[in-house]
Structure 1
Amino acid sequence: MRIVVAHNRYRVAQPSGENTIVNVEISQLAAAGVEVLPFLRSSDEIPSMPKAAKALLPISPIYAPRAQQELSRLLTEHRPDVLHLHNPYPLLSPWVVRTAHRHGVPVVQTVHNYRQVCSSGLYFRDGVICQDCRGRTLGVPAVVHRCYRGSRAQSALMATTLAVHRGTWKSVDRFIALTSAVADHLRDYGIPDDRIVVKPNAIPDPGTPAPLGQGFLFLGRLSPEKGLDLLLEAWRRHPDGALGPLRVAGDGELRPLVEAAAAERADVTFLGPLDRAGVRDALTASAVVLATSTWHDVLPTVIIEALASGRPVLGTALGGIPYLVGADTPREPAGTGPAVAASAAAPPSPGGPADPVGRASALPAGILAGEAGWVVPPDPAALAAALPVAAAGAAALAVPARSRYDRTFHPDVVTKRLIDVYASLS
């Protein structure tokens, strides 16, 4: 089997889990015996482009002529079975879908964000969830609010691109939704069920989990949408030391907020940015990993890392988080809250499979127990109520957390599922 993997890498200065996942997926496919032909561009190429190429950049999200020419040559020479597209912006353009189809090559796209509809791809603006462009032919609100790169002109270009390529996206042969929430988003966009496959990302197996540590770990970008202020407000509702330690690792614009909390309380420790060994040590030292995003976080890799390490997760009931911890329930596609909150407020039946200690009905209102953790509405009171529940229940969910990784997120499982998607089209 011969597969073209097409991806526009994000800039090195903009750390991207998507870049990492594409690299890992290419390696996993190659290890499984698939011939991979990378068709990769990087936004870091832009500053060194010739003037003529730079002059075409404003239209490249709609149509990137050089990329289409080079892709045509690649497809003609190698005659691949499938083209697998990740991010097309700005140097590839969704036009690669049309180019592949012109050569008779089916297209698979992994959907990493909400950019079929939202110019920023996040459904998040000015600190809150925003879906003003949902259902519109042209995303005028994105232009008004400068949603793409803080520029009205660039936002207008992206909104126009999304309008022009609505038919292009609807011609994709198979969409890979990383979670059930992304599948909901695609259905809302008009993609039929038979062209959507839910397949998450995988991370390499870190080995047998270490014994459970103590307390909680927040690991990620220190930015508003990750819910760090939500977490700290909930944490302050408990006496210092009552929940064990809270470790916060990462960097970003909210770093001063964490440093202030660490100076204020003895049970908060700021670890700063960590390398891979540091992440491993932080996971080992902790009992529960926190994922308190206040946007519809598509697939936080830190949750998969937690499950692989046998650490249950306490998160918000937004985006892909319920799916990752095995607590996803039917809800409005990428909704802003009511359906999510309603499902989170209804505890599972006592003694059910999501209840590790047989007392799910005794959970405080708003907490939903899943196979590998708990989710709550993005509300300080709900999160504060869930923290002691997670601290008390961590030991019971440590083994189920690792089991969920083995069954759902292990590279052997995920790579086979991806190859099966390719085979269904070739």
Structure 2
Amino acid sequence: MRVLVVHNRYRSEQPSGENNVVDAETALLAGAGHDVAVFERRSDDIAAMSAPRKALVPVRVPWNPAARADLARTLERRRPDVVHVHNTFPLLSPAILDACTHAGVPVVATLHNYTQTCVPGTLYRGGEVCTDCLGTSPLPAIRHGCYRGSALATVPPAASLVLNRRRWWTAVARFFCISGAQRKILVQAGLPAHRLAVKHNFVADPGVRRAGAGEHVLFLGRLTEEKGVGLLMAAWDRLAAEGGAGVPLVLAGTGPMAEEVARWARDRDDVRYVGLRGRDECRELTARAVAAVAPSTWLETFGLVVVEAMAAGVPTVAAAHGAFVELIDDGLTGLLHRPGDARSLADALRRAVTDAEGNRAMGSAARLRYEREFTPQVGLERLLSGYAAAIEGAATCEPV
């Protein structure tokens, strides 16, 4: 199969799970013998642009004629069987869909977040879940300055959402949602349910699994409020005040809360902040964990850290909402806590650490579920099945 992957890469200074998924899927397809090419733009390139070109970036968010023309030439040259779109913001724009429609090439799009109904794609504002724009206009997003805290900066992506909503819904033959929880919300927002399929992300076998009880509790990810970092600190302080967990908390990653986390961890023997680590180091940290923790306060669309822990035979303590509810069988492969509740999180962490037999059983069950549902082989089968469905049903997608 000839596949053209279309993606606007996120800035390298902000580790992106989406970039990792795109790279992993591209390598998986190529490794299976398919002809895969990548049409991409990089947000890193914006910094090196001239002032006039930088000024045009937000203007072209809703429609970038140059990107459309470039893709049209690529489609003519490569003649792919299917185009797989990931992210188009900010340098590609939905204009690339128009190029695919006119070339008669079926399109599959992976929805990694909620940008089809929420400007920042998070359904999160002011420290809590927000559905003000769900299925309606993005005017609340502009009013609250949901993109970069600025009403003016929010206008271009909000305009793109309004102007291109129908284009997305009609030009894409098959949408991949990365969880059933995400699909449910997007159907509520009005996306065409018959084109929304659930295709979980896959994770490569790490090649290392937990041996023994583990040495620490691990938070691995971006240090932001919506990832539950503040909640985790509050819960860990509760545990410390009640005698401690018996193992240290290790936080690996970076983000807006990095300095706050570093100050909080300083001079403590029950917390270690290790900063941003490489992939191999992260695998080792995961394999040495008693449990991973994912206390997100926003509605996660998936949860790579959960599946990575599964692959290492490690249970996860996570918030009982979003995709975590379908990724974790509570009490069987991990533990769920009440979202936003520090006491509930502390109790779940204590149970994960102190119940050695239960922890061992959950870790083994988590590994078995990984082998059934989240391996590269399963991911490849679902990817190709989605492509085939898009190709077969492409004629039913009305042009824009």
TM-score using structure 1 length: 0.85
1:281 matched to which residue of 2?
Answer: 284
C-alpha separation in 2, matches of 1:261 and 1:9: 32
2:321 matched to which residue of 1?
Answer: 318
2:348 matched to which residue of 1?
Answer: 386
How much has 1:189 moved relative to structure 2?
2.2
2:365 matched to which residue of 1?
Answer: 400
Residue pairs, 1:177-188, within 5 angstroms:
177-188=177-188
1:38 matched to which residue of 2?
Answer: 38
Quick check: 1:112–1:298 contact (8 Å CA) kept in 2? yes
Identity of aligned residues (%): 41
- Structure 1 residues 263, 240: closer, same or farther in 2, change over 3 A? farther
Residue pairs, 1:338-417, within 5 angstroms:
369=330, 371-378=332-339, 379-391=341-353, 392=355, 393-417=358-382
- Note the alpha carbon deviations across 1:8-29, whole angstroms, 9 max, x for none: 1112223212112111111111
C-alpha separation in 2, matches of 1:316 and 1:262: 23
- Note the alpha carbon deviations across 1:357-401, whole angstroms, 9 max, x for none: xxxxxxxxxxxx154212122211221222233221211111111
Residue pairs, 1:216-365, within 5 angstroms:
216-238=217-239, 239-263=242-266, 265-325=268-328, 327=329
1:159 matched to which residue of 2?
Answer: 158
- Structure 1 residues 231, 102: closer, same or farther in 2, change over 3 A? same
Quick check: 2:65–2:95 contact (8 Å CA) kept in 1? no
How much has 1:179 moved relative to structure 2?
0.8
How much has 1:274 moved relative to structure 2?
2.0
Quick check: 1:84–1:108 contact (8 Å CA) kept in 2? yes
1:14 matched to which residue of 2?
Answer: 14
How much has 1:107 moved relative to structure 2?
0.9
2:99 matched to which residue of 1?
Answer: 99
> Which ranges of structure 1 fall in alignment gaps of 5 or more residues?
328-368
- Structure 1 residues 397, 68: closer, same or farther in 2, change over 3 A? same
2:383 matched to which residue of 1?
Answer: 418
- Note the alpha carbon deviations across 1:2-48, whole angstroms, 9 max, x for none: 11100011122232121121111111110011111211111122244
- Structure 1 residues 62, 404: closer, same or farther in 2, change over 3 A? same
Quick check: 1:241–1:266 contact (8 Å CA) kept in 2? no
Tell which deviates more after alignment, 232-241 or 400-409. 232-241
Counterpart secondary structure, 2:191:
coil
C-alpha separation in 2, matches of 1:259 and 1:51: 36
C-alpha separation in 2, matches of 1:57 and 1:266: 47
C-alpha separation in 1, matches of 2:222 and 2:58: 30
RMSD: 2.0
AA paired with 1:16? S
C-alpha separation in 2, matches of 1:311 and 1:257: 28
How much has 1:270 moved relative to structure 2?
2.5
AA paired with 1:244? V
- Structure 1 residues 243, 188: closer, same or farther in 2, change over 3 A? farther
Quick check: 1:240–1:266 contact (8 Å CA) kept in 2? no
- Equivalent residues, number: 383
1:349 matched to which residue of 2?
Answer: none
Residue pairs, 1:60-75, within 5 angstroms:
60-75=60-75
- Note the alpha carbon deviations across 1:154-196, whole angstroms, 9 max, x for none: 2112111111111012112111011111111221122343312
Quick check: 1:95–1:168 contact (8 Å CA) kept in 2? no
C-alpha separation in 2, matches of 1:40 and 1:82: 16
2:395 matched to which residue of 1?
Answer: none
Residue pairs, 1:114-125, within 5 angstroms:
114-125=114-125
Tell which deviates more after alignment, 259-268 or 303-312. 259-268
C-alpha separation in 2, matches of 1:216 and 1:133: 37
- Structure 1 residues 83, 371: closer, same or farther in 2, change over 3 A? farther
How much has 1:316 moved relative to structure 2?
0.3
- Note the alpha carbon deviations across 1:329-362, whole angstroms, 9 max, x for none: xxxxxxxxxxxxxxxxxxxxxxxxxxxxxxxxxx
AA paired with 2:126? D
Quick check: 2:223–2:256 contact (8 Å CA) kept in 1? yes
* 1:146 is the counterpart of 2:111: no
C-alpha separation in 2, matches of 1:93 and 1:57: 10
> Which ranges of structure 2 fall in alignment gaps of 5 or more residues?
392-400
Tell which deviates more after alignment, 242-251 or 196-205. 242-251
How much has 1:303 moved relative to structure 2?
1.4
- Structure 1 residues 58, 221: closer, same or farther in 2, change over 3 A? closer
AA paired with 2:223? L
AA paired with 2:28? Q
C-alpha separation in 2, matches of 1:422 and 1:271: 41
2:396 matched to which residue of 1?
Answer: none
Quick check: 1:109–1:174 contact (8 Å CA) kept in 2? yes
How much has 1:50 moved relative to structure 2?
5.6
AA paired with 1:317? A
